Amino acid sequence: MLNMITPVIYGSSKVLSFYKKQLNIEEFNYSQVRNRGQYVAKQVNIVNTWDETLEAHPGKPSKESGRAALQALQQAANDLKDGLLDALVTAPIDKSTIHSDEFPFKGHTEFLAEFFSTKDHLMLLASEGLRVGLVTEHVPISQVASLITRERVEAKYKALESSLRKDFGIQKPKIAILGLNPHAGDNGLIGEEDEKVLKPLVNDLKNQGKIVSGPLPADGFFASAAYLKYDGILAMYHDQGLAPFKTIAFNTGVNYTAGLPVIRTSPDHGTAYAISGKNQADEESMRQAIYTAVDIFKVRHEPSAENKSA
């Protein structure tokens, strides 16, 4: 990996040393960043984002660890905004410990959307051959139906289509839009949103020349492997998209925030406190999050078809 990227870890060298001892890892070297933006190539670089000594208690959440996570996130986001980094890969956070007046957000996605002044962002779960975007994210299920408006769904569709083109290099993406209600509303027998909101939108998109299908019943769509025929899928709510995605691609899935002017990925799992500090975690999703960030960076910086032919 060091031949491909220069990793910059935001946190604490003291905490890192603790875990080296905890996990009995001897062959892991790193450089501490003394001056902002001055990183050593082909080495792991550590940016110390707090000065005070914090004791590490594996698997035990605390407000101190939440505050430390926020400090690391804020400094990394600032360096990303100032062009010192090419991409940001966030590790899982504990929302209960990081939440405060300084961080009133439901997660990384909402924080970064505000930090980079991005209105029409999209939470996009990606793996090889499967990309699922969400119309609604971290909201109670009781509020989902009221949020399924034409304006919101259309904005998320546009964000998904744009990301598939710009970030994944798919010039004519095929997109599936899932229905909100069971059986996609069953022609209006089960809820009105599919008939009144989603079907007219899909028809209008088709008339614009878009390659789009829907609203499609979510259960049969995933059970029949119909998802393999599409470049992107737009789910109406969190578990409608994430439950099948994690079933299909849990170890290789990546959470990507589409629509930002910068690149941000993360693994698609949580903090896993139960196995913290035990050397039992599967690193594959984090590895894929890093590689996905590299791939998106390369796609974004490839010469356009016009420039290639010039």
Q: Tens of pLDDT along 7-29? A: 999 999 999 999 999 999 988 89
The whole-angstrom separation of Cα 137 and Cα 235 is 10
Q: What pLDDT score does 305 carry?
A: 42
Does this chain's domain 1-118+260-310 share its CATH topology with 120-255?
Answer: yes
Q: What are the backbone dihedrals phi and psi of residue 100, each rounded to the nearest 5 degrees, phi first?
A: -165, 180
CATH of domain 120-255: 3.40.718.10
Q: What pLDDT score does 304 carry?
A: 59
Q: How confident is the model at residue 106 (pLDDT cuts 50, 70, 90)?
A: confident
Quick one: which H or E segment has residue 137? none
| SS3 state of residue 77 | helix
The whole-angstrom separation of Cα 150 and Cα 283 is 39
Residue 231 has pLDDT above 70, yes or no: yes
Residue 310 has pLDDT above 80, yes or no: no
Q: Options 3.40.718.10, 3.40.50.300, 3.30.160.60, 3.10.310.70; which CATH number does 1-118+260-310 get?
A: 3.40.718.10
Exposed e or buried b per residue across 259-296, where buried means at least 16 C-beta atoms within 10 angstroms of its C-beta: bbebbbbbbbbebeeeebbeeeeeeebbebbbbbbbbb
Q: What pLDDT score does 309 carry?
A: 36
The whole-angstrom separation of Cα 171 and Cα 163 is 10
> Can you give the pTM of this predicted structure?
0.90
Percentage of the chain beyond pLDDT 70 is 98
Q: Are 74 and 58 in contact (CB under 8 A)?
A: no
The whole-angstrom separation of Cα 10 and Cα 80 is 12
Domains in the chain: boundaries: 1-118+260-310, 120-255
Q: What pLDDT score does 48 carry?
A: 96
Going across the sheet that includes 30-32, the strands are 8-11, 44-48, 30-32
Q: What are the backbone dihedrals phi and psi of residue 255, each rounded to the nearest 5 degrees, phi first?
A: -95, 120
Q: What pLDDT score does 86 carry?
A: 97
Q: What pLDDT score does 302 carry?
A: 82
Chain Cα centroid distance, residue 140: 20
Strand stretches in 179-249, DSSP E: 211-216, 232-235
Q: Tens of pLDDT along 168-201? A: 999 999 999 999 999 999 999 999 999 999 999 9
Q: Tens of pLDDT along 134-176? A: 999 989 999 999 999 999 999 999 999 999 999 999 999 999 9
Q: Tens of pLDDT along 251-309? A: 889 999 999 999 999 998 889 999 999 999 999 999 999 999 999 999 999 875 433 43
C-alpha R_g of the chain: 21
Exposed e or buried b per residue across 106-122, where buried means at least 16 C-beta atoms within 10 angstroms of its C-beta: ebbbbbbbebbebeebb
